[in-house]
Amino acid sequence: MTTVPRLTRPEGPEPQDFNLSRRGLAALLTAGYAAYAYSADAEPIVTDTEGLTVETVSVPEASGPLPAYVARPAASGRYGAVLVVSEVFGVHEHIRDLCRRFAKLGYVAIAPAFFFRADPDNQLAQTQDFALIQKVVGTAKNDQVMGDVGAVLSWLEQQPFVDRKRLAITGFCWGGAVVWMACARFPELKAGAAWYGRLSHPPATGFMGDDVRQWPLEIVNQLHAPVIGFYGGKDQGIPVTDVEAMRAALRAAGKTDSQVILYPEAQHGFNADYRSSYDAAAAKDAWTRMLAHFAANHAAPGKAHSWLFG
């Protein structure tokens, strides 16, 4: 019998929270979802590729090519683009599906493999060993990640199918924190949507605590682009006090075009439809708010589309 994890922390569950049979593991690996986080009881949204161009590209970067999954409308034209930043499990099927959802709405969506240097074979999506996940993700320091974001934005600006004036970013879990940091670094971004990303510095001895850097609560004054943040009231890794501190920091900095939405009954990972923590109502509301936020800040895709929660 399968025991599904309770993914209520941004770092993932504790090892004892998760146990999957060999048969169950084989099934989810075939589907391409993250082994560590997959719930056997989930019914993930599956987005087809009809009307889309889907490919893996190599983004030029100082240390070498950076792989990235791209989904975009097949019809000719220039489209707004959204950079999709993954969870700690890398670019697995859920992240690829999110890119296809954006593409169905008329966006060029790109998900870079930020952990590629330490995980060239994408083992993060296949392992049940969270110690390995922590080790790999821990190699992706903030400076390196910001360098990768810059490289991806440069690549997007050079593509004939991208409207370079309409660039947005969204990210989930680990990627949610990246969104806040990127919107403080890159003025070319028009808007950001951060899903349950860490706001304050982790404990020095905790996961990612050794990365000497600023965290979202420390860079509010530097935000170039407005950010909408989505958080769960039952997230065991991101306390509501941090959410309230971010709201206060945004007010103090006069960032009235940014906001933080709290879903009191939602857990960490509430948008991840392949997990037991999925909250359909919160996910739908946040997705709708995200699209409206992009549209209000000149980061709409460029064509009128309606699909899924849009």
- 17 classed as catalytic: no
CA distance 47 to 108: 15
Q: Residue 132: count other Cβ atoms within 10 Å of its Cβ.
A: 14
Angle between helices 174-183 and 142-157 (to 10 degrees): 70
CA distance 286 to 123: 30
Q: Which of 97, 148, 242, 268 is catalytic?
A: 268
Q: Which of 163, 235, 273, 279 is catalytic?
A: 235
- 224 classed as catalytic: no
CA distance 140 to 4: 28
Q: Which of 148, 173, 242, 279 is catalytic?
A: 173
Three-state secondary structure call for residue 224: coil
Among positive and negative, which fits the CA dihedral 26, 278, 260, 309?
A: positive
Residues in the chain: 310
CA distance 121 to 180: 28
Residue with token string 């990640």:
145
- 268 classed as catalytic: yes
Catalytic residues: 173, 235, 268
